[in-house]
Amino acid sequence: MTVASIARLAGVSAPTVSKVINGRAGVALDTRRRVEALLREHDYRRPEAVGPAAILEVVFTALESHLAIEIMRGVESVAREHELAVGFTEMRGRLAPGRGWLEQVLARRPAAVIAVYAGFSPQQQGLLDSSSIPLVALDPTGEPGHAIPSVGATNWSGGVAATRHLLDLGHRRIAKIGGPPAFLCARARLDGFRAAMDSAGAPVDPSLIRDGAFAFEDGLALGRELLALPDRPTAVFAGNDLQALGVYEAAREAGLNVPRDLSVVGFDDLEFTRWCGPPLTTVRQPLADMGATAAEIAIALAAGEQPAQSRVELATTLIVRASTAPPR
Amino acid sequence: MTVASIARLAGVSAPTVSKVINGRAGVALDTRRRVEALLREHDYRRPEAVGPAAILEVVFTALESHLAIEIMRGVESVAREHELAVGFTEMRGRLAPGRGWLEQVLARRPAAVIAVYAGFSPQQQGLLDSSSIPLVALDPTGEPGHAIPSVGATNWSGGVAATRHLLDLGHRRIAKIGGPPAFLCARARLDGFRAAMDSAGAPVDPSLIRDGAFAFEDGLALGRELLALPDRPTAVFAGNDLQALGVYEAAREAGLNVPRDLSVVGFDDLEFTRWCGPPLTTVRQPLADMGATAAEIAIALAAGEQPAQSRVELATTLIVRASTAPPR
């Protein structure tokens, strides 16, 4: 099968087929899909010199920007061993990549795509699939229902560990600030909190359970509400580190000392939380390891292997620093 | 000129020449250089389909990891307009890229390389040059002596602005924590400090000038020393934000309130400094803009254009938040 005959079958010019084979831009999505299908159907072997580009592409939503650098480090450490570059795209808060991005990726033909909490539609997955570009989800938000291989962290267990730590210190009035209810990771952390409270026989006061975005501002606003209660909590388990820092600020405003007057626990272990005042007790997501694992799966898929597991959850770890103490 | 004749001239096999032309791995550096030189000498035109890979590669030293995500955002915003992916490499603290990395980059043949405070040797620059891969330095540390086009920020002016702000608040005993003396950005910030002090007629007490690494730990250690002085400073201008957070911690240890008892100014405006307690007054480096500018220069060079200026310095801005106040 020659380029010319594929072109004839596809009803396009030979240079267009050449562009598809060589991973260059300037071919409409539909045309590219048609040509890729014909190449596969006729078992066209690309010459070694024009195999997939030696790059792993990582796509982030803005949501993950604070986590991004750790994830990139992990991906890069594995990619380098395999002589692959690591590509970076940030979608500025959109959950699904736009047509323009997809078109560019199909043209570049990376070895694989790692989507960090990015929702690809089945149609978009189909386009990547028709170009033999494997897709792996790296999902610190914990969505387990991926149709594609995915890597996450044990959010529920992290919620249990953080809550037990506060219970062990003697806290009973523990507030829980959650993330957006639509995020399964937020739900998993909250469920872990409830499980630990229940198994310790500690009552969960509904007025101490609040939901917000995974942002400093939400931690600040909800922290103010919680600290203004007549019977305020002695500890707050925040949904993530940014919320925890918002609670710090609310405590400062209220003239309360962390941890003497209020214990605070975060989630994620962003690097800078160890530099906060006081250094934050938090639950570590092994972001670099998650990136490395996603890269390994992506590279295996690109080599035509099937991953042993389609869903991997790496362990979270409680990191005790200086923001937690027994209640007064 | 055919691939076969280039191969004959280079004394290598035709598939080796093919690999060089197509940007694939598995060719020794010397061989690659010889082949690239012959291709250029004989004006060999690569077919459009095997032009440079549609990727801009960004190389970081570990030093810049806290700045990296902002820079990547800026590079990515420009790269995307030009349908380029952005590659990411972190060198884990080594200032010059290793042979392995260079070999991979030469094989991938990216459109250009942006080096973020990475020192490329003249020989390494020569290798990139012989493969027609433009190199641009993005240098938040302010080294102005690049042989290659470079983008930086106005560190000296930032030093003046921060110091004037403290002087205007009424401070006279102002301490300066500097960065590593070998970093010109550290020197520029210190010179700006001295210039502002001199022009205000404020004496510079040598015991209040200390040097350290650009790290939290150094800010903490030097902050402790400064706050233990019999006549301690009323304000500290730190070399960067991480040092400033170390000074925060030293103040907490000493039972001093920021800003009531001690004013603190940082440098960089890392995103999380607005979430610190209290939010940090600092000098903003426009990292995303610097990344975007470096990308524009790199893309222009890749298109065969000469940049209008070989050195661009973007303005720093004083961001006044809550860590500075008049002395008591």
Structural domain that includes position B109: 51-153+289-315
Please give the structure tokens belonging to residue B66.
Answer: 């806290």
Look at the block and give the residue holding tokens 């082949």. B35
pLDDT of residue A96: 64
Over residues B19-27, mean pLDDT: 75
pLDDT of residue B95: 60
- A 10 A CB-CB count for A167 gives 18
Which of A48-57, A308-317, B156-165 has maximum average pLDDT? B156-165
Quick one: A317 exposed, middle or buried, by C-beta within 10 A (0-12, 13-18, 19+)? middle
Sheet hosting strand A317-319, strand order edge to edge: A209-211, A174-178, A235-237, A263-268, A281-284, A317-319
Of B53 and B68, more confident: B68
Rounded CA gap, B202 and B200, in Å?
5
pLDDT at position B98 over 80: no
Confidence of residue A142 (pLDDT cuts 50, 70, 90): low
Rounded CA gap, A307 and A135, in Å?
12
Q: Are residues B165 and B256 in the same domain?
A: yes
> How close A89 comes to chain B (CA, Å)?
7
Backbone angles phi, psi at A8, to 5 degrees: -60, -45
Nearest by CB to B49, from A22, A86, A108: name it.
Answer: A22
pLDDT of residue B50: 55
Q: Is residue B326 part of a domain?
A: no
Q: Are residues B237 and B280 in the same domain?
A: yes
Rounded CA gap, A136 and A114, in Å?
5
pLDDT at position A259 over 90: yes
pLDDT of residue B238: 98
Q: Are residues B164 and B280 in the same domain?
A: yes
pLDDT of residue A30: 84
HSE at residue B57, side-chain half, CA atoms within 13 A, is: 31
Over residues B79-95, mean pLDDT: 79
Q: Are residues A118 and A66 in the same domain?
A: yes
pLDDT at position B10 over 80: yes
Nearest to B328 by CA among B191, B217, B173, B224: B173
Nearest by CB to B53, from A53, A65, A66: name it.
Answer: A53
- A 10 A CB-CB count for B255 gives 8
Provide the number of CB pairs (under 8 Å) joining chain A to chain B. 144
> How close A250 comes to chain B (CA, Å)?
10
pLDDT at position B284 over 80: yes
Confidence of residue A166 (pLDDT cuts 50, 70, 90): very high
Question: B278: which chain A residues are within 8 Å (Cβ-Cβ)?
Answer: 252
Asked if A299 contacts A134 with a C-beta cutoff of 8 angstroms, the reply is no
Taking CA atoms, what residue in B is nearest to A246? B275
Could you tell me which residues come within 8 angstroms of residue B304 by beta carbon, excluding any fewer than 6 positions away?
none
pLDDT of residue A73: 87
- Domain with B122 in it: what CATH number? 3.40.50.2300
Q: Are residues B227 and B162 in the same domain?
A: yes
Nearest to B202 by CA among B243, B248, B233, B239: B233
Rounded to the nearest integer, the mean pLDDT of chain B is 87
Q: Are residues B101 and B193 in the same domain?
A: no
Q: Is residue A78 part of a domain?
A: yes
Look at the block and give the residue holding tokens 């260059």. A24
A138, A309, B97, B114 from A74: Cα distances, Å = 12, 19, 18, 21
Contact A252 B101 (CB under 8 A): no
Confidence of residue B20 (pLDDT cuts 50, 70, 90): confident
Chain centroid to CA A321: how far?
Answer: 24
Nearest by CB to A49, from B18, B72, B276: name it.
Answer: B18
pLDDT of residue B140: 57
Over residues A137-156, mean pLDDT: 77
Q: Are residues B38 and B65 in the same domain?
A: no
pLDDT at position A16 over 60: yes
Least confidently predicted of A24-28, A134-138, A253-257, B124-128: A24-28
Nearest to A108 by CA among B59, B80, B134, B46: B80
Of B253 and A148, more confident: B253
pLDDT of residue A308: 77
Contact B69 A69 (CB under 8 A): yes
Contact B49 A107 (CB under 8 A): no
Q: Is residue B82 part of a domain?
A: yes
Nearest by CB to A277, from B55, B89, B249: name it.
Answer: B249
Rounded CA gap, B183 and B267, in Å?
14
Prediction ipTM score: 0.72
pLDDT at position B285 over 60: yes
Q: Partners of A236 in the beta sheet? A: A175, A264
Rounded CA gap, A56 and A71, in Å?
13
Of A232 and A145, more confident: A232
pLDDT of residue A168: 97
Asked if A215 contacts A246 with a C-beta cutoff of 8 angstroms, the reply is yes
Rounded CA gap, A239 and A140, in Å?
13
pLDDT of residue B291: 95
Contact B72 A88 (CB under 8 A): yes
Asked if B206 contacts B200 with a C-beta cutoff of 8 angstroms, the reply is no
Look at the block and give the residue holding tokens 């790496």. A314
> How close A239 comes to chain B (CA, Å)?
16
pLDDT at position B49 over 60: no
Contact A54 B104 (CB under 8 A): yes
Rounded CA gap, B91 and A26, in Å?
34
pLDDT per residue over A93-106, tens digit each? 666 666 677 877 88
Contact A275 B110 (CB under 8 A): no
Q: List Cβ<8 Å contacts ≥24 apart for A224-229.
A: A224/A250, A224/A253, A224/A254, A226/A175, A226/A177, A226/A250, A227/A251, A227/A254, A227/A256, A227/A262, A228/A254
Q: Are residues B263 and B303 in the same domain?
A: no
Contact A101 B108 (CB under 8 A): no
Confidence of residue A112 (pLDDT cuts 50, 70, 90): very high
Q: Are residues B281 and B301 in the same domain?
A: no
Of B303 and B197, more confident: B197
Q: Is residue B3 part of a domain?
A: yes
- Count of domains for chain A: 3
Over residues A206-210, mean pLDDT: 97
Over residues B152-166, mean pLDDT: 94
Asked if B174 contacts B163 with a C-beta cutoff of 8 angstroms, the reply is yes
Rounded CA gap, A176 and A183, in Å?
16
Least confidently predicted of A175-184, B11-20, B60-69: B60-69
Q: Are residues A140 and A43 in the same domain?
A: no
Rounded CA gap, B136 and B295, in Å?
8
Q: Where are the alpha helices (DSSP H) in B47-98?
A: 65-81
Rounded CA gap, B146 and B311, in Å?
8
Nearest by CB to B68, from A49, A69, A108: name it.
Answer: A69
> How close A119 comes to chain B (CA, Å)?
20
Chain centroid to CA B71: how far?
Answer: 9
Q: Are residues A170 and A269 in the same domain?
A: yes
Please give the structure tokens belonging to residue A299.
Answer: 């590279």
Contact A89 B86 (CB under 8 A): yes
pLDDT of residue A146: 59
Nearest by CB to A275, from B48, B107, B216: name it.
Answer: B216
Q: Is residue B188 part of a domain?
A: yes
3-class SS of residue B327 = coil
A72, A316, B41, B328 from A79: Cα distances, Å = 10, 24, 34, 55
Q: Is residue B40 part of a domain?
A: yes
Question: B53: which chain A residues are within 8 Å (Cβ-Cβ)?
Answer: 53, 55, 108
Of A103 and A250, more confident: A250
Of A4 and B25, more confident: A4
Per 3-state DSSP, what percentage of chain A is helix, strand, and coil (rounded to 5)? Answer: 45, 15, 35
pLDDT per residue over A273-299, tens digit each? 988 889 999 999 999 999 999 999 999
Q: Partners of B263 in the beta sheet? A: B235
Rounded CA gap, B204 and A70, in Å?
41
- Domain with B41 in it: what CATH number? 1.10.260.40
pLDDT at position A183 over 90: no
Q: Is residue B277 part of a domain?
A: yes
A108, B75, B294, B299 from B288: Cα distances, Å = 25, 7, 10, 16
pLDDT at position A144 over 60: no
Taking CA atoms, what residue in A is nearest to B15? A49
B54, B104, B216, B298 from B25: Cα distances, Å = 17, 6, 41, 23
Q: Are residues A135 and A163 in the same domain?
A: no
Q: Is residue B323 part of a domain?
A: no
pLDDT at position A300 over 60: yes
pLDDT at position B128 over 90: no
